[in-house]
């Protein structure tokens, strides 16, 4: 039964009595005291250290994903912490599970759109080529009744200030390449196609999808950036919940409301 | 029913059309492009920015928690990703749920021991006071048959190199105060009490418990640092699983082994 | 702020000092001692009690979903229990999270296919109408390169004995209506279209999708049946893990294998 | 590396092309169409079929755990479903994670108390022995400042009607043995010790702890019964959420309340 197994292999990390190696590097000497958590996340995902420019942009991307106030995820985490305060990991997990298609799927979607469109043939596209490509992408999405990922925002109007800031940081560090350009063209094409001039700018998830693509992060991992950022934020909500507990009041208000029609 | 509700309150973050505020700061101008992810985690948990010294030590602490190779958590994450690749958040959550008392509880335990022992009366303890306090803590733990948290390691002998490095970084940044001293005294007291000289040095979780205490992080949140760090590592394992899938082989090997005794 | 809120409403259950009402029924007198767990599940999902025939078929459907040996979900649950034995709920949750598109999506898929195809116009379809409908469904799936849900099985050949048994129980209880007939026609149509005669019979998830449809369970809830059944099975695996622990060995074997190439 | 491994072993289930075996039984012929879901749960946990009396009592126990209206767990599940409707399994997992010490720990606690107290020496205790044992258990709990598990209820006064009904069903089926008697003595001893006559009757979780003990279910698995029951209830809440969505309103109300103090 055990004779002909294909050997499993992982290169993430290994240890012996005196050494700990992570991604081929010495944890104590190469990482601790040298890499901040965002840079370590880049190393874990990409298998190499970020350049200083990548470090700046990547940490800024993660920063947009940490905290959005009392989201459904934060409420779920607080309610779960109320029930199982001895299992902080469960409270964080409970909130992370809400990072699905409704809230976290769009950076994945925009990264996929960009990465599947800009194949190797399109390594140095002209402006006209990008405009034409964006028009054709938007047309195809509309024909198949799919949403256009990464553009517009229900609250942040007329522009999403996070996208503006992310592109500004990317430009400063020379990471505003063809994916950023295509994402902006997609937004313009969407505005033309839907006749909503100036109303569908690139949003934060579109910017993150574009910048992930610039750094070579596969679209399948974009949701992972949101999960990393939000796990930080959800631990923050538990910290506030410990200082100022509100979960029991949340529960009691909702329960009272939801059963106020009950006649005994 | 809704008339006399106590107002809920959270100060984590809020937004309007053009502004996003996090912890009282402007996300775009004060955080993005300025704070790395570790510093943002400090801000979320403590409600204030870290000093440069705190930033260095805090990021180093988080770095010890990210990656330990093919842990039970990493295997669970990979197996869950095999079953639900469309829900990356579920795969990370699945692995985080293993961060319980077996693996992640000891930094919590050592932080609690230190924080409950060093009350305000003991704000500037002498060496003799700390030694006596450590002896009495170890005595009490042994009488109630509780493990001594934060000392010794089954693999990393004679010392845990992560603890050595953490204390070195803390010393460099002046964060080696009374909690670090007490933790080291607890290790010495344990060695005396159990007659194991040189065999129970402070381990990584003991160092993290002590340094969390130095920075004023409540012991109830220490597991949160492990959860933050490990969420980064588990996204890393998914990245490797996408490049080089092994989860199906893991499953098939274990299933074949576990049912090899079955006679039909 | 609180003035004009739409009242929330739920009719799942409510309590006062002496009474507990669930789905409009008295928990103590109408449910406890009268409903088995499967019937209670039907009540929770459908908001009404099952008929005796529905009870028989529904419990049989759930029974197919409880236990499949050492699945990825069972391994994840055991590894998580190793790390956090104090949080049994986390170990079960960890395993449930693997119930995604790879393993649990197909009953959802077949139920959706059937429910979207058999609209009210098709309330009493003839055999010829069902055959034509099945051919057109298979054709459309193949054109859009989607898998045909609910047919064939990699292990259970030439037939899936669970499907055979489910249809037998359904027939005995008169629940083999138009959805069951269409599902069987889809299998035949798939065999014709792919030229695999006798090789793509309805599998267990196809049968569950069809029988859920017969009972009026929306396709969006079919995965819920799998989650209910599997939560039972995963608690069973924890029971065995307590009697005969293997999770640590699983971990050590996989870790050793995965790092056997490491050269220090 | 693979040479001297201890073989792993599980007896939960196994399959080949035409057969599926669960707990040594034939799934198609011995289980499907014969066992209801509660009986299957008993089989999975205990490794044997329940007697008819055990089946009646066990299903009644599970029935008390399924549905309690708009609990924190139900709210978390609905909020998570809002964020990730494509991952129903994540929404259920999110809610299950709140089944910790606050809400689900007490049946575990009472079962542990009873099982550790009634050793083999106490296989046929007299009434006087049980009274004395109960007094000593309560005394010891109070001395170590631990809560007395399984007695009293904040809402259900003067008695918990679920406990009354469970004991009634157990008596009818002859399962009211020494554990039930001791649990009732513990309640009386608590009332004496705290001078609260008639105010600390056995509650639902105390009854479940006692009846689990009667059937030989280890205390470590008692929380598993709650997890099984509640997974049914949480799927029920998703069913109602699909029919009548309220999660978005819950979120918006809580978010508005929590940030109503914000001054821009």
Which residues on C lie below 8 Å from D164 (Cβ)? Answer: 28
Does B45 lie in the same domain as B57? no
Average pLDDT over residues D121-140: 93
How far apart, in whole angstroms, are the C-alpha atoms of residue A250 and residue A246?
6
- Selected residue of A1, A16, A24, A37 to mutate for chain B interface (largest B Cβ count, 10 A): A37
Contact A82 D99 (CB under 8 A): no
Q: Is the pLDDT of residue C76 over 80?
A: yes
pLDDT for the residue numbered C7: 80
Q: Band of the pLDDT at B221, cuts 50, 70, 90?
A: very high
Domain CATH number, residue B258: 1.10.230.10
D41: closest CA of chain B, how far (Å): 21
**In this structure, is residue A135 part of a structural domain?**
yes
pLDDT at D154: 85
Q: Which is higher by pLDDT, D240 or C18?
A: D240
DSSP string, B65-102: TS--SS-HHHHHHHHHHHH-TT-HHHHHHHHHTT-STT
- Based on the fold, state whether residues C96 and C222 are members of the same structural domain: yes
3-class secondary-structure state, position C14: strand
Q: How confident is the model at residue D1 (pLDDT cuts 50, 70, 90)?
A: very low
Across chain C, mean pLDDT equals: 94
Question: Where are any strands of DSSP class E within D132-199?
Answer: none
B152 phi-psi bin (left φ>0, alpha ψ -120 to 50, beta other): left
Residues B163 and B118 in one domain: yes
Quote the pLDDT of residue A2: 44
- D242/A105 Cα distance (integer angstroms): 21
- The answer, for A10 touching chain C at a CB cutoff of 8 Å, is yes
Question: In 3D, which of A247, A166, A239, A243 has the Cα closest to residue A201?
Answer: A166
What percent of chain B has pLDDT above 90?
88
Are the beta carbons of D232 and C44 closer than 8 angstroms? yes
Residue C22 lies in a domain: yes
C123 and C96, same structural domain? yes
Q: Please report whether residue B82 resides in a domain.
A: yes
pLDDT over threshold 90, residue A119? no
Residue A4 scores a pLDDT above 60: no
Do C74 and C143 fall into the same domain?
yes
Phi/psi for C220 (5° steps) reads -65, -20
**Cβ distance of D254 and A70 shorter than 8 Å:** yes
pLDDT digits (tens, 9 = 90+) for B14-63: 998 899 999 999 999 999 999 999 999 999 999 999 999 999 999 999 99
Mean pLDDT of A196-217: 96
Percent of chain D with pLDDT over 70: 98
Please report which confidence band the pLDDT of residue D3 belongs to, taking 50, 70 and 90 as the band edges: very low
pLDDT mean over D34-41: 98
pLDDT at res. C4: 57
D24 lies in the same domain as D80: no
> Is D6 contained in some domain?
no
Which residues constitute the domain of residue C106?
52-264
Same domain, yes or no, for B28 and B93?
Answer: no
Contact A7 C90 (CB under 8 A): no
pLDDT of residue B5: 64
What DSSP state is assigned to residue C158? S
Output DSSP code: residue D151: B
The answer to whether position C3 is within a domain reads no
Taking only residues 96 to 115 of chain D, the set having a beta carbon closer than 8 angstroms to any beta carbon of chain A reads 97-104
DSSP string, chain A: --TTPPPP---SEEE-SS-EEETTEEIIIIITTT--HHHHHHHHHHSSPPPHHHHHHHHHHHHTTS--SS-HHHHHHHHHHHH-TT-HHHHHHHHHTT-STTTTHHHHHHHHHHHHHS-GGGSS--HHHHHHHHHHHHHHHHHTT---TTB--SSS-SS-HHHHHHHHHHHHTT---HHHHHHHHHHHHHHHHHT-TTS--B-HHHHHHHHHHHTT--GGGHHHHHHHHHHHHHHHHHHHHHHS--HHHHHHHHHHHHTTT---
Is B147 part of any domain? yes
- DSSP letter, residue C151: B
Average pLDDT over chain B reads 94
Q: In chain C, where does DSSP find H-type helix?
A: 37-46, 52-63, 72-83, 88-96, 105-117, 127-143, 161-172, 178-194, 204-214, 222-243, 247-258
Find residue A20's DSSP bridge partners.
A15
Whether residues D254 and B8 touch (CB distance < 8 A) is answered with: yes
The subunits that touch chain D, with at least 3 C-beta pairs less than 8 Å apart, are A, B, C
Mean pLDDT, range D103-116, rounded to an integer: 91
pLDDT of residue D152: 93
Q: Scan residues 63-92 of B and list those with Cβ closer than 8 Å to C.
A: 69-73, 75-76, 79-80, 82-87, 90-91
Same domain, D16 and D144: no
D102 lies in the same domain as D188: yes
Per residue in D190-224, pLDDT (tens digit) is 999 999 999 999 999 999 999 999 999 999 999 99
Contacts with C28 from chain D: Cβ below 8 Å: 161-162, 164-165
Is D264 a member of any domain? Answer: no
Closest to D99 measured CA to CA, from C93, B94, A72: C93
ipTM over 0.85: yes
Task: Tell me which of C117-121, D52-56, D110-114 is least confident.
Answer: C117-121
Are D76 and A254 spatial neighbours (Cβ–Cβ below 8 Å)? no
- Using alpha carbons, list the distances in angstroms from residue A193 to A114, A186, A199, B160: 18, 10, 12, 61
Convert the pLDDT of each residue in A151-185 to its tens digit: 998 888 889 999 999 999 999 999 999 999 999 99
Residue of C nearest to D24 (CA): C69
pLDDT at A34 over 80: yes
Count of structural domains, chain C? 2
The confidence score (pLDDT) of residue D97 equals: 98
Contact state of D8 with B90 under an 8 Å Cβ cutoff: no
Q: Are residues B18 and B118 in the same domain?
A: no
Statement to judge: residues C247 and C146 lie in one domain: yes
pLDDT of residue A147: 93
Residue C40 shares a structural domain with residue C82: no
pLDDT-derived band at A3, boundaries 50, 70, 90: very low
Q: What is the largest CA-CA distance in chain C?
A: 71
Please tell me the distance from the alpha carbon of residue C105 to that of residue C77, in angstroms, as a whole number.
Answer: 20
Task: Classify the phi-psi angles of C25: left when phi > 0, otherwise alpha if psi is within -120 to 50, otherwise beta.
Answer: beta
Give per-residue pLDDT as tens, B158-199.
899 999 999 999 999 999 999 999 999 999 999 999 999 999
Give me the sheet containing C25-26, strands edge to edge.
C13-15, C20-22, C25-26
* Residues A237/A240/A245/A249 CA torsion (nearest 10 deg): -50
Residue C20, φ and ψ in degrees, nearest 5: -135, 120
D262·B90 Cβ contact <8 A: no
The A residues from 229 to 258 touching C (CB cutoff 8 Å) are 254, 257-258
- Using the predicted structure, report yes or no on whether residue A6 has a pLDDT greater than 80: no
CB-based contact (8 Å) between B146 and chain D?
no
pTM of the model: 0.96
pLDDT of B3 over the 60 cut: no
What average pLDDT is seen over chain A? 94
Give residues 114 to 143 of A whose Cβ lies within 8 Å of D.
none
Of B10, B19, B258, the CB nearest to D264: B19
Say if A264 falls within a structural domain.
Answer: no
- pLDDT bin (cut points 50, 70, 90) of residue A105 is confident
């Amino acid at each position: 039964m055990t004779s002909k197994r294909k050997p499993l292999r992982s290169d993430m990390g290994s240890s012996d009595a005196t050494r700990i190696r992570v991604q081929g590097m010495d944890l104590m000497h190469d990482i601790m005291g040298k890499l901040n958590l965002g840079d370590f996340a880049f190393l874990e995902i990409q298998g190499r250290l970020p350049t200083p420019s990548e470090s700046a942009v990547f940490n800024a991307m993660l920063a947009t994903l940490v905290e959005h106030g009392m989201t459904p995820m934060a409420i779920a985490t607080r309610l779960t912490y109320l029930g199982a305060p001895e299992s902080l990991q469960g409270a964080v997990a409970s909130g992370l599970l809400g990072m699905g298609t409704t809230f976290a799927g769009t950076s994945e979607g925009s990264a996929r759109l960009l990465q599947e469109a800009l194949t190797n043939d399109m390594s140095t596209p002209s402006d006209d080529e990008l405009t034409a490509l964006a028009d054709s992408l938007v047309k195809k999405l509309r024909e198949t009744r799919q949403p256009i990922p990464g553009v517009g925002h229900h609250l942040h109007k007329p522009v999403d200030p996070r996208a503006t800031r992310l592109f500004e940081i990317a430009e400063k560090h020379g990471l505003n390449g063809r994916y950023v350009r295509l994402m902006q063209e997609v937004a313009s094409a969407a505005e033309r196609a839907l006749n909503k001039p100036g109303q569908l700018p690139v949003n934060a998830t579109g910017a993150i999808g574009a910048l992930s693509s610039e750094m070579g992060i596969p679209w399948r991992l974009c949701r992972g950036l949101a999960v990393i950022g939000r796990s930080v934020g959800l631990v923050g909500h538990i910290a506030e919940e410990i200082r100022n507990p509100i979960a029991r009041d949340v529960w009691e208000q909702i329960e009272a409301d939801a059963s106020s029609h009950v006649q005994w």
